Structure 1
Amino acid sequence: MNLKISGHHLDVTPALREYVITKLDRVLRHFDQVIDGSVVLSVDNHKEKEKRQKVEINLHLKGKDIFVESCDGDLYAAIDLMIDKLDRQVIRHKDRLQGHQHEAIKYQPLAAQPEVPPQ
């Protein structure tokens, strides 16, 4: 998987990069058909005293693109929230791929019925 981690108004430290990669391993454990992804870590100054940490990920899967964002006062907490949301969406996508492929009734073999002797 190709992963691009970038920062907006923020320097991405090796510790942040490693934290994001280890958390994304949890998502890849459920679904391994990920082509590439990009993570954007940013800091927004809404008010003078309040800073909002924001994390966005755009994950390109086989057959679908998933975009998730989360905000929090702490960047590590925002990453955890983003991973939880992403994990739920990836599991839901995987269930949709696997669970809805049933054969038509006319193509299914008939079950063997016990023969009842005539009386």
Structure 2
Amino acid sequence: GVAGALATGTLSDRWGRRRILLVLLSLAPFLMIAFLYGPEWLAVPLLLLLGFASISPQPVILALVQDQFPLNRALANGTYLAVTFLLQAGGIWLVGMLSDRYGLTIAFAASAVVALLSIPAIRWLPGRAKIAVNV
């Protein structure tokens, strides 16, 4: 996961943030389903790939946020991280509740479905920001 996080920020500079996010966010749900329902001998390799695909979008999104607010990067970065922390805490609580009621497999499969449903939102992410600086 950490290797992916280090690599994807640089890759998104070269190939575009939305393109990299589309690949990563499309890959992660399928890797989750493959892990849940695939053969046991593939569990560790699938988890490694899932970690790569799940952690890697964070630096790309951080770069996207910083691209949009070049004059207030610290504020934008802090706001993004605070909102992300709150949403992740709520998501963990919800997955825990689902797993208590229906089991871990169903909870993780539901998470994969929700992740797939979020992919169309990439279309509305902004492209590169134009910087207008008054000097």
| TM-score relative to the length of structure 1 | 0.34
Larger relative contact order (CA 8 Å, sep ≥ 6): 2
Q: Which has the larger radius of gyration?
A: 1
The answer to which structure has the higher strand fraction is 1
| TM-score relative to the length of structure 2 | 0.31
